[in-house]
């Protein structure tokens, strides 16, 4: 029996049929992101063969060294979205100007935030990296988008997803109708449905944290790490959030990046890293918090604001929150 291939485009159109108010713009925007992902995947897979790996001698909004491939991915995504006609504004981790990029489409109803290539420190050592995106309906009614259009709670996202450039290239997305994963088949240039209706295991035995920072974590996070070690869990940490969260989504477990003494809000950005991944984790049946509060409820006040994050299997995130409350208090 031949296996029916469902492409990303077909799936997006089918999902749109379930959204009564859908008029096709969101579907078109998601397809444009899928196109950008294919092009970025082609360039990521060439890194090392062509002089696009390595540092670009530029810093981004978070003071990270920008890699050449970061800039290429950023430019590709901006170009695809700017010409899509479905979004009126774009915000990217790589754009240091603390204000969003306006597109020519002042009446388009969506805005997009993205981290074009997360895990960039892994690019030149051939470790998995990823693109993360979040889509909101604009809050302003018409005309040029405003910063306020971007400063929305994660719970108000209409869609979110990531692309993982690993042993294969996968796109995983949600429009709040569940989580579905697509694997790129380079022979036909299509993302094909490979992981339908992903559900995260209720618990797991893998904890994912940078243990090198142990002494700088709050006591509550230290206590949870000791709990994981004493429970015989396995520690896995790739250093690319998309890769660590993807493994957590598929196998179960918990990924966390707590605040530290020098960075009380941690390192990961709320708007274009934690919120989109938190929506996917929750849509798959998991939990995502800052240790105390639901990530998706955190008010957005700055484009590049950071938050501590604990996300994954519900039983494990709940245990972390319980120990944090016991040890650190409210
Ligand atoms: P650390 C990559 O630079 C990143 O932004 C995330 O993808 C990853 O989870 C984290 O930083 C790794 O940070 O401090 O553990 O090297």
Please pick, among 76, 117, 277, 323, the residue that the annotation labels catalytic: 117
pLDDT of 49 reads 60
Q: How far is the CA of 7 from the centre of ligand 1 (A)?
A: 31
pLDDT of 50 reads 58
Span 73-88, mean pLDDT? 89
Domain hosting 58: range is 8-195
pTM equals: 0.93
| CATH code, domain carrying 258 | 3.40.190.80
311/262 same-domain check: yes
How many domains in the chain?
Answer: 2
Return the SS3 of 120: helix
The residue whose C-alpha atom lies closest to atom 5 belonging to ligand 1 is 119
pLDDT of 15 reads 85
106/183 same-domain check: yes
To the query of whether residue 115 is one of the catalytic residues in this protein, the response is yes
Helix %, strand %, coil % of the chain (to 5) = 35, 25, 40
32/81 Cα distance (integer angstroms): 7
Residue 1 has pLDDT above 60, yes or no: no
244/318 same-domain check: yes
pLDDT in tens, 283-327: 999 999 999 999 999 999 999 899 999 999 999 999 999 999 999
CA angle 69, 170, 60 (to 5 degrees): 30
Q: How far is the CA of 224 from the centre of ligand 1 (A)?
A: 20
Q: How far is the CA of 232 from the centre of ligand 1 (A)?
A: 25
To the query of whether residue 321 is one of the catalytic residues in this protein, the response is no
With a CB cutoff of 8 Å and minimum separation 6, the contacts of 279 are 134, 154, 157, 160, 174, 176, 296
Question: For residue 254, what are the β-bridge partners?
Answer: 207, 312
Express as a percent the part of the chain with pLDDT over 90.
Answer: 68
159/213 same-domain check: no
Q: Is residue 1 part of a domain?
A: no
Residue 247 CB–ligand 1 contact under 6 Å: no
Neighbouring C-alpha atoms within 13 Å toward the C-beta of 104: 6
Span 260-284, mean pLDDT? 96
Q: Is residue 137 part of a domain?
A: yes
Cβ–Cβ < 8 Å for 272, 134: yes
Q: How far is the CA of 58 from the centre of ligand 1 (A)?
A: 18
167/30 same-domain check: yes
Question: For residue 130, what are the β-bridge partners?
Answer: 118, 164
31/114 same-domain check: yes
98/160 same-domain check: yes
To the query of whether residue 118 is one of the catalytic residues in this protein, the response is yes
219/172 same-domain check: no
Residue 239 CB–ligand 1 contact under 6 Å: yes
Return the SS3 of 285: coil
Cβ–Cβ < 8 Å for 142, 106: yes
Q: Is residue 101 part of a domain?
A: yes
Residue 54 has pLDDT above 90, yes or no: no
pLDDT of 69 reads 83
| CATH code, domain carrying 187 | 3.30.540.10
11/78 Cα distance (integer angstroms): 24
204/236 Cα distance (integer angstroms): 12
Neighbouring C-alpha atoms within 13 Å toward the C-beta of 287: 19
| pLDDT confidence bin for 143, thresholds 50/70/90 | confident
172/282 same-domain check: no
323/80 Cα distance (integer angstroms): 45
Do strands 159-165 and 169-174 pair parallel, antiparallel, or not at all (unpaired)? antiparallel
24/122 same-domain check: yes
Q: Is residue 84 part of a domain?
A: yes
Please pick, among 86, 95, 118, 290, the residue that the annotation labels catalytic: 118
Of 118, 271, 272, which is best to mutate to test ligand 1, by the most ligand atoms within 8 angstroms of its C-beta? 118
- Concatenated DSSP letters of 5-71: P-BHHHHHHHHHHT-TT--SHHHHHHHHHHHHHHHHHHHHHHBTTBTTSSEEEEE-TTSPEEEHHHH
213/75 same-domain check: no
Q: Is residue 122 part of a domain?
A: yes
Of 120, 241, 307, which is best to mutate to test ligand 1, by the most ligand atoms within 8 angstroms of its C-beta? 241
């Amino acid at each position: 029996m031949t296996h029916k291939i469902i492409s990303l485009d077909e799936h997006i159109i089918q999902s749109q049929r379930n959204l009564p108010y859908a008029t096709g713009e969101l579907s078109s925007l998601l397809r444009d992101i899928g196109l950008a992902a294919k092009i970025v995947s082609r360039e990521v897979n060439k890194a090392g063969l062509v002089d696009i790996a390595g540092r670009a001698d530029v810093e981004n909004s978070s003071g990270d060294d920008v890699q050449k491939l970061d800039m290429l991915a950023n430019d590709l995504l901006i170009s695809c979205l700017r010409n899509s006609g479905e979004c009126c504004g774009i915000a990217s981790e790589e754009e240091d100007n603390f204000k969003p990029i306006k597109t020519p489409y002042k009446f388009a109803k969506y805005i997009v935030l993205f981290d074009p290539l997360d895990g960039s420190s892994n690019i030149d050592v051939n470790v998995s990296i990823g693109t993360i995106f979040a889509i909101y309906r604009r809050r302003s009614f018409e005309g040029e988008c405003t910063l306020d259009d971007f400063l929305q709670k994660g719970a108000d996202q209409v869609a979110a997803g990531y692309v993982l450039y690993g042993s294969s290239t996968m796109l995983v997305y949600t429009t709040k109708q569940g989580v579905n994963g697509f694997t790129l088949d380079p022979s036909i240039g299509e993302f094909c449905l490979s992981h339908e209706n992903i559900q995260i295991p209720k618990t797991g035995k893998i904890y994912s944290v940078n243990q090198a920072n142990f002494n700088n974590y709050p006591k509550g996070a230290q206590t949870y790490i000791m709990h994981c070690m004493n429970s015989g869990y396995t520690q896995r940490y790739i250093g690319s959030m998309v890769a660590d969260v993807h493994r957590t989504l598929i196998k179960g477990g918990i990924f966390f990046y707590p605040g530290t003494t020098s960075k009380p809000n941690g390192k990961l950005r709320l708007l274009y890293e934690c919120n989109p991944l938190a929506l996917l984790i929750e849509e798959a049946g998991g939990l995502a918090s800052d240790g105390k509060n639901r990530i998706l409820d955190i008010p957005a006040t700055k484009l590049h604001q950071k938050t501590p994050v604990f996300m994954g299997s519900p039983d494990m995130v709940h245990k972390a929150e319980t120990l944090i409350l016991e040890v650190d208090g409210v």
